[in-house]
Structure 1
Amino acid sequence: MTTSSPDTLAAIILMGVSGSGKSTVASALAQRTGLTCADADSFHPQANITKMHAGIPLTDEDRWPWLRAIAAAIDHHAAADGPLIIACSALKRAYRDLLVHGRRDVRIVYLRGSQALIAGRLAARRDHFMPSSLLDSQFATLEEPTSDEPAITVGIDASVETVVDDIIRRLDLTESAPS
């Protein structure tokens, strides 16, 4: 995989199961690099949120419009505003293929952790529409990135700062100056 600086990068997709820290890491990475951050959850139609809140796993048919909206946002943001960091589960290869859609300037960061670690995080989380009861279905759906994808794998059994340090180093990103 090649490295990228923000001027040659359209997007960084932080992927993983619910509770892997996607939103937290995306926010910290954006703060350190000065890049814009978005959460894929904000692209879900209300019907998807209602299903997940009720503990009903989404189907691929539920996900395709959501994923197409995220891919369009990556294209739009990259053309108009520069690189975008997006926190998105992207659990299946087909989902990541749709998000990347042949672009050579999109990188995927897989936030990997054990099911026990993530279950503990979910148990402590409040006010989120994704119940911890869906974690088993998330791991069952998960297809870890393969060597032919523009992806790196980062362990999440460390502090957020350490995880972000690893991402910045491995993607050869530039940190922004403190304000």
Structure 2
Amino acid sequence: MSTPHVVVVMGVAGTGKTTVGPLLAGTLGVPYAEGDEFHSSENVAKMASGVPLEDADRWPWLDSIGEWAHGRAGRGGVVSCSALKRAYRDRLRAAAPDVLFLHLTGDRELIGRRMAARKGHYMPTALLDSQFATLQDLGEDEAGVAVDVSGTPEEITERAVAALRRFEN
């Protein structure tokens, strides 16, 4: 992409945000930020114990990610963030109006298998259903693209770069 954008790699847990995000950032030649690192220790403990976050838990987290994205405006970057609800994406856009969303999508079975196979992550597979219940797909008026997560991380990244090209200036 010729003009540096900040891309928010979004989707339910287990779609590969943390895997695809750095690959995308490397391909685009911009920094990557891991959205999970913006969570408070209280949020992490809550999720690790199997309790879904409430909106009140998410607002400060989203504000921190929005601040990072705002600071990268015009220089580009990639950040992972579930951004499951339109209201969450609106909050990110309020901080950084030019962000683009890359929605990683896939079926529940595939994502559940991937979640079960990963090691050392605090998000339990038991919360996946609540994530799908919360998910609101990108609206037609939202700057972003949806990319299926079948295939290798490299294939997903290639599809993402191709889809994001429509936002080149």
Q: TM-score range by the shorter chain?
A: over 0.9
Aligned residue pairs total 166
Describe the shift of the 1:130–1:102 C-alpha distance in structure 2 as closer, same or farther (beyond 3 A): closer
SS at match of 2:151: coil
Q: Secondary structure at the match of 1:109?
A: strand
Further displaced range: 99-108 or 117-126: 99-108
Residue 6 of structure 1 is matched in structure 2 by: 3
Q: Percent identity?
A: 42
Structure 1 position 169, deviation (Å): 1.4
**CA–CA distance in structure 2, aligned partners of residues 99 and 24 of structure 1:** 21
Q: Which amino acid aligns with 2:60?
A: P
2:112 aligned partner? 119
Note the residue ranges of structure 2 that are not aligned, 5 or more in a row: none
Distance 2:77 2:124 in 1: 27
Correspondences of 1:1-179 after superposition (within 5 Å): 5-7=2-4, 9=5, 11-78=6-73, 82-101=75-94, 103-172=96-165
Letter in 1 for 2:3: P
Deviations 1:34-89 (CA, angstroms, capped at 9, x unpaired): 1100111000001000000100000000001110111011112336xx21100110
CA distance in 2, matches of 1:12, 1:164: 13
After TM superposition, where is structure 1 displaced by more than 3 Å over at least 4 residues in a row?
none
Gap regions ≥5 residues in structure 1: 174-179
Larger mean Cα displacement after TM superposition, 100-109 or 158-167? 100-109
* 1:146 Cα deviation after fit: 1.2
Quick one: structure 1 residues 60 and 104, their matched pair in 2 at CA, closer, same or farther if it must change by over 3 Å? closer
Q: Deviations over 1:155-178 (max 9, x none)?
A: 0012111111111112229xxxxx
TM-score by length of 1: 0.88
Distance 1:88 1:159 in 2: 20
Q: Measure the CA separation in 1 of the matches of 2:116 and 2:68.
A: 31
TM normalised by structure 2 equals 0.93
The root-mean-square deviation of aligned C-alpha atoms, in Å, is: 1.5
